[in-house]
Chains A and B, each alone.
Chain A
Amino acid sequence: MTTSPIPARLIKWLLVLIAVGVSLFPFYWMLRTALAPQSQQLADGLGFWPAHLDFGNFARAWNKANRGQALLNGLIITGAILLLQLITCVPAAYVFAKIRFKGSGILFGVVLACLLIPTQATMVPTFIGINLFGLGDTRIGLVLPFYSSAFGIFLLRQQMLSIPDALLDAAKTDGLGPWRTLLRVVVPMSMPSIAAFAIFSVFTHWNDYLWPLLVARSPDLATPPLRLAVFQQADIGFDYSALAAGAAIVTAPILILFLFAQRRFVQGMAGGEIAG
């Protein structure tokens, strides 16, 4: 590897730089627009750098769109979904990975089938059902359909398969019941994939747009992306700066979370393979 000639390395780095540039450019453009003074946007909005920094856009975005409320909603809903998914999926994954029982094959087949059913096919009946039970336009209606996750069961199971059976047998001989085996042996050993799934779940539901768009009709319930989309279509006129600032506010929490949790996430996703 050390012998690779200079031109090859140069080309490699050039490709890397292009990829990094394309990957980061929209983020940069968002920040640039958010920090540029409002007057600069269309007149000479072509500059690569803002003329001078203007943090007032963030204040306008925050106030106009009642962003605090939306962020709080996002936090509550994402947190509730995450908690429920961990409670439901971890034990199920453990059973599918390590315990043989009647019908396990068929039931895991059901999990795989659910993994492959697209939103299109489930969205309308779920919406009708949620409304039928009077849960339309409520926080419960935003959370309930996601209390379990086929992807979660699948991903966690894949890693739990690699837990040595001897360890579980040892736990049994030590008199640990299934619950304590789960909590004291399986969960600690599956932390990488649990972390990866948790981050994945937070990404998905913080960023979800379609379901809140259907369910959250009253503005008080809006999640951050929904609020942003409404803000984008409606009353803002040409206040691009405030819109970009709003986009930055929605993006920042997940970005920061990812920067902190990156290593665990990548490790945990390594287990997410379909065996064979």
Chain B
Amino acid sequence: MTTVLDKPVPSLAAAGKPIDPNRTRATPYVFIAPAMSGIGLFVLLPALLSFIGSFFAIPLATGANWKWVGFDNYTSVFSDPTAHRAIENTLLYCVITIIPSLVLGLLLALLAESLRHGRTLVRTALFLPMTANLVAMAVVFKWIFALQGGFANQALAWIGVAPINWLNDTRYSLISVALVGVWRGVSLTMLLFLAGLTTIPGAIHEAAAAEGIRGWAKLRTLILPMMKPTIVFATVLSILTSIQAFDQINVMTQGGPQESSETILTFTWKVGFSYFQLGKPSALSFVLIAVLICIGLVRRRAFSAEQR
């Protein structure tokens, strides 16, 4: 090998002298085996087991055997008001975090990109929420949203609005935890959009300027279509982050008051690990996945219809 390296003889290599054809053919599989085994064992297999488990009663505490219950877990999910709340809240949380994250993220990216001075500093400041430890920030937000002496209510007082019981009022608890989600989400989407904006070649901007296309028209006819891959990526990441929101909810409200901020993940956590029932949370997860797939299909149809 080393002699070949020292003195490359193209004709020899071009003649195709693979040391061992079987080994070369196996190479791709050797390369992917460690990574694929990891996601197979810890993502695919658990998801599959979870799906199977959703048809059983699994009393974890007593260690008794699994019992086939058919669709009982699913029917109990649909008849359980708390599970209902959890599904509703999760979807609502997704809507009120994903849309603002994407819209504000795009606006801020465009804004930060257009600055002539202090661009780096502004960017850095806007990126920071993404790096923050959500548990630590949730602790801080808990004080900011405190009924008495919290900064949020103090700020409301300055403009003459009565204090709001952000975390302990069933009407506001989900919004409060969602605000934290947006605070963090915007920072991630902005970063992705900024990265996407830098991939647009300068020539495009020059051409647009020469044609006199600017402002809203430029955004709609040039920038957005060119950024479509980034937008798709940012949307997917936002959806994934939002349906898996847990940290700040568990620290700030623990799903309360009266399940008003209970999401599927906090509910799964409670039922699964406090009451040690495993069939029902699994069923709930798959109801969520089914809902997401439906939304995905509808959206895709809407998307392709729009393009035609």
Are chains A and B native binding partners rather than an unrelated pairing? Answer: yes
Nearest 7 Cβ contacts at the A-B interface: A148-B38, A92-B35, A247-B136, A270-B195, A273-B229, A175-B4, A122-B46
Stretch of B23-31, B76-84, B161-169 at the chain-chain interface:
B23-31
A266→B195 contact, CB < 8 A:
yes
Return the CB mask of B242-286 against A: 1 if under 8 Å, else 0. 011011001100000000000011001100110000100110111
Q: Which residues of A contact B (CB under 8 A)?
A: 1, 12, 15-16, 19-20, 22-27, 29-30, 33, 42, 45-46, 87-89, 91-92, 94-96, 99, 101, 104, 107, 110-111, 113-126, 128-129, 144-150, 152-153, 172-178, 182, 203, 206-207, 209-210, 214, 224-226, 228-229, 232, 240, 243-244, 246-248, 250-251, 254-255, 257-259, 262, 265-267, 269-270, 272-276
A16→B132 contact, CB < 8 A:
no
Q: How far is the CA of A118 from the CA of B19 in the complex (A)?
A: 44
Minimum CB–CB distance for A200 against chain B, Å: 10
Q: How far is the CA of A25 from the CA of B250 in the complex (A)?
A: 22
Minimum CB–CB distance for A84 against chain B, Å: 8
Q: A23-B128, A207-B133, A255-B131 are in contact. Are A120 and B281 (CB under 8 A)?
A: yes
Residues of B within 8 A of A (CB-CB), count: 98
Complex A-B: 18 CB contacts under 8 Å: A16-B112, A20-B122, A26-B141, A26-B144, A30-B136, A45-B149, A46-B151, A120-B284, A122-B50, A128-B278, A150-B39, A150-B43, A244-B139, A258-B128, A269-B192, A270-B196, A274-B233, A276-B229
A24→B111 contact, CB < 8 A:
no
Minimum CB–CB distance for B108 against chain A, Å: 6
A-chain residues with CB within 8 Å of residue B25 when the two chains form the complex = 101
B8→A121 contact, CB < 8 A:
no
Minimum CB–CB distance for A211 against chain B, Å: 11
A121→B128 contact, CB < 8 A:
no
Interface majority SS (helix, strand, loop, mixed), chain A: helix
A-chain residues with CB within 8 Å of residue B229 when the two chains form the complex = 273-276
